[in-house]
Amino acid sequence: VLSCSQTPKTPLQKSMDRLGKQLTLFSFGIIGLIMLIGWLQGKHLLSMFTIGVSLAVAAIPEGLPIVVTVTLVLGVLRMAKKRVIVKKLPIVETLGCCNVICSDKTGTLTANEMTVTRLVTSDGFQAEVSGVGYNGEGNVYLLPSKEILKEFSNVSVGKLVEAGCVVNNAIIRKNSVIGQPTEGALLALAMKMELADIKDSYARKKEIPFSSEQKWMAVKCTLKNQDQEDIYFMKGAFEEVIRYCTMYNSSGISLMLTPQQKASYQQEEKRMGSSGLRVLALASGSELGKLTFLGLVGIIDPPRAGVKEAVQVLVESGVSVKMITGDALETAVAIGQNIGLCNGKLKAMSGEELDQVADIHLIPSCVFVFQISIFFRTSPKHKLKIIKALQRAGAIVSMTGDGVNDAVALKSADIGIAMGQAGTDERCIICNTLLVCNNRHRT
């Protein structure tokens, strides 16, 4: 998809192309007319041709490219003083023409500093988690008794935390995470429960990596030095993980999962999401498709400092701001309201609903997409579809992101803005603008 997508021409490039064509047509028309009049007056044809060539050379604005280049360079220098790296000169002018900004949520609108704050097990136990950062400072409190939980003092909570620790590729060193912040938050939770070393008791045999399409990750493991059957651990979006579950955990015992319980889990997931938490579901079992549901983990990712003020300034300036995220509706709406997106008047659309929009390439459908403030449960192909629809509606679109899943949209947008201090190297190569300070309100 990335290799097939193309970066569109900037408004300045389009204007220069249009000006060039107009100058060419007018110049050749006038020169041809002068040569024709001279020839009719009986003047020598070679002499008129020489005059025509001279007029053609004189009509070329030789100084225009120099003036435009110098002006754009001055703009690049001004942006550099604000710690914004502009990789292509014409983008400076495009920034002033932009009227729609599409932004990824995690790590762009939010700080991408994940902390687990809430746990809900499959058999109804609830716990809150204290402490912030990627360390073991803090405790897990069973509600409502406020009992401090460690290891497997509560079997249901322990198994939930164990799964989050095992189906994990992150490493925490010196209070910083190497890997995905979401997985770092799960490791920090395990450290608070004194279960951080439990991952070493398993030997990993297979990994099914996370993707934006499937929205879950799973690993196949076996206990070391024990002759037991293999076990799968899975984490991901609730609606995807629950499809693979036929049982639920009740104090270490697997019981049959009923439709009523699925509905109650879904209600709990929506309740956690509506408070702004990013919700992960966890499951384990001996076979994919017959897993045991373990519970939900609520992770807080607060809005980045200055984002609310920046959104307010943009909206007052007539720029439409749209949030595109892979999170659930409730989480996306909560964050959108928190940062003042569209003054709280939000219209949301899921990736599945976007797939069902007929004739997205036609103008009415493009205008319909223009009215949406939040796109949730989206994949990279959905982001590309949104960018293309907005461009067809006549908008100059900027895309801001920090992850590899934003790469296609960054390349296809009129302006691709990458967050410089975090994220992947791919988006820095593809984008044409790089924010070194990671704070929009400074620019």
Active-site positions read 104
Q: Six-digit token pair at 175?
A: 């209070």
Query: How much is the CA Rg of the chain, to the nearest whole Å?
Result: 28
Tell me the HSE value of 105 on the side-chain side, using a 13 A CA sphere. Answer: 32
Q: Please, what's the largest Cα pairwise distance for the chain?
A: 109
Contact (Cβ atoms closer than 8 angstroms) between residue 166 and residue 219 = yes
Determine the residue type at 267: Q
Burial class (CB within 10 angstroms; exposed 0-12, middle 13-18, buried 19+) of 56: middle
Mapping DSSP to helix (H, G, I), strand (E, B) and coil, where does residue 289 land? coil
Burial class (CB within 10 angstroms; exposed 0-12, middle 13-18, buried 19+) of 316: exposed
Q: Whole-angstrom Cα distance, residue 189 to residue 184?
A: 9
Contact (Cβ atoms closer than 8 angstroms) between residue 283 and residue 238 = no
User: Cβ of 145: how many Cβ atoms within 10 Å?
Assistant: 7
β pairing state of 397-401 and 126-129: unpaired
- From residue 276, how far is each of 195, 271, 301, 315 by CA, in Å? 27, 9, 8, 22
Long-range contacts of 81-87 (CB under 8 A, 24+ apart): 82/437, 82/442, 82/443, 83/435, 83/436, 83/437, 83/442, 83/443, 84/433, 84/434, 84/435, 84/436, 84/437, 84/443, 85/420, 85/433, 85/434, 85/436, 86/432, 86/433, 87/431, 87/432, 87/433, 87/434
DSSP run (H or E) holding 376: strand 374-376
Q: Whole-angstrom Cα distance, residue 139 to residue 429?
A: 41
Contacts of 192 (CB under 8 A, 6+ apart): 129, 131, 136, 137, 138, 139, 140
* DSSP structure class, residue 200: G
* DSSP structure class, residue 10: P
Contact (Cβ atoms closer than 8 angstroms) between residue 261 and residue 300 = no
